[in-house]
Every structure is written in C-alpha cells, then in structure tokens.
Amino acid sequence: MVYLLVGIAGIFGASLRYLMGLPFKDTLVYGFPIATFLTNMIGCFVLGWFTTFLPKIKFLSPSFITALGTGLVGSFTTFSTFSVETVRLMMESKWSIAVIYILLSLWGGLLFSLLGYRAGMLYKRDGGMEES
C-alpha cells in the first residue's frame, strides 16, 4: 500500500515541479537556473517541516507521511536537473555562475531544511504552539 501512496504522491509532486517551472521557462538570470534553485529550496523547507510536523498529527498513518515526504517532495525536488544544469554551465565556461549555483544550492538547501525543521517543531503534538 505504501508503494501506491508514494507513487500517487509522486505524480502530484512531479506535476507541481512542472507547473513551478512554467513561469520561469527558459529564464536564466545571468545563466543562473532560477526555477530549479527555487524548487529545490522550497522542497528543502517543506521536507524539513514535514519531517517534524506530520508525525505529530495523530490521524496520519506512517505510510501517508512517507508518501508525502518521499513521493510528493522527492518528485518535486530535482537533484538530477541541478546536476545537469551545473554541468551545462561548466561546459559553457560559466564557472563563476556554476560555483555560485553549487554553493547557494548546498548552503541554501541546508538552511531551508533547518528552517523547515524548526517550523515543524513549533507545534506540539496536541496541536497547540510550543512555548519558547
């Protein structure tokens, strides 16, 4: 059953990824692939949030939580596109843009994951807000 849920969630994640890219179709800011970068940062935040928040919701099954994290977010984000775009930048001798893209993706991804994780920790299991 979990495989089916992951697959269905993956359909939605891949569709969201496609829709996210439409407004940025062929949009490069000085060669920087903005659509993939934004998609991956959003995905890092959401997965961090899902990881800490969803298990606190009592009526969600572990299978459904896995489907959302692995299926939805996993198919929404795109490491392969990031890699191909980086290689393309390098082959076009756009080394500075490639290095900026790599560093922003790495550190931005970690930062957004942390922010999502912390956002998910704000909620107690009973649905109220955590006190600082």
- Give the annotated binding-site residues for Na(+): 74, 77
SS3 at position 33: strand
Residues forming the annotated binding site? Answer: 74, 77
Cβ-contact 17, 25 below 8 angstroms: no
Residues 91/31, Cβ–Cβ less than 8 Å: no
In this structure, are residues 4 and 69 in contact, taking their beta carbons and an 8 Å threshold?
A: no
Helix-strand-coil percent breakdown of the chain, rounded to 5?
Answer: 75, 5, 20
50 and 70 Cβ atoms separated by less than 8 Å: no
Q: CA-to-CA distance for 81 and 54, rounded, in angstroms? A: 28
